[in-house]
Structure 1
């Protein structure tokens, strides 16, 4: 079963891509609904890595552990950059799912200079997937709202310009 999201974010694609690769931004997107507690220290920026996190509802009700297994498809000729999470729920209700694949893509928005076309696709499988589709779809709608709210606030780190030390130049 598939849950899809497509929206335009009010930020440059490079800014959105940097935010997608940030565990801190991920925690911010889900807060305060879901709280993510890493079992080991997470990197500042995701790289091709695997991590395990505990999840809780509002930081109060444990909902299980999730393995995050990150890879990238960011060298496409069409300018689309994709972050792939092939992890899976390890414990809790979502562990009843037979499969989990989450892909998040950013690209320049058509007809929107300075904006990002964001696409998010979650594929789930197994006998329990139909029972989880509507709750996950609802979370994805909430997630879209959080992304839209947060995108304009994401910091942009401009390239540092070289300073010429020769005042006569």
Structure 2
């Protein structure tokens, strides 16, 4: 099954790119529906890099949903300038383990209208055997919630040039 979103975010693409790679932003746009806790030895980094990141999730901060591995890859050198964050992780316990395919892609690009804002596209493709159809409404609703939160937060995302862009 698939869930799709397409939004214009009121922030520059560089700020949106940094935001979607932030565990803090993920936590903020997911709350209060889902609470995430790092299972890594060092906790969450400021910005996620490519690799595996184990987490535990709780519904409404109370109901254990299980553990999962977020497996991130990034495409940042496409000729069209689109940057893509892809999660192909998997559930490792609890109800999350029922999902047998997880392919979540978030794409960041300049608004084609030339406004300086961000074109944000988000696609989730998932499978959970016989439960796939039953899970689709929950994933769809959660993605709509995330989209509302992203749109609300995007105007606050700005780059602090001294902290966010490495000098090289």
TM-score with structure 2 setting the length: 0.90
* Unaligned runs of at least 5 residues, structure 1: 161-169
1:6 aligns with 2:6: yes
Q: CA deviation at 1:25?
A: 1.1
Unaligned runs of 5+ in 2: 164-168
Q: Name 1:156's counterpart in structure 2.
A: 159
1:90-169 alignment to 2 at 5 Å? 90-127=92-129, 128-158=131-161
Number of aligned positions between the proteins: 160
In structure 1, the partner of 2:15 is 15
Could you tell me which residue of structure 2 aligns to residue 163 of structure 1? Answer: none
Aligned-residue CA RMSD in angstroms? Answer: 1.4
SS at match of 2:161: coil
The Cα of 1:42 is off from its aligned counterpart by 2.0
Larger Rg: 1
Equivalence for 1:87? 89
Which residue does the alignment assign to 2:76? 74
Q: Deviations over 1:26-45 (max 9, x none)?
A: 11111122110001112211
Do the aligned residues in 1 keep the contact of 2:11 with 2:158 (CA within 8 Å)? no
Structure 1 counterpart of 2:166? none
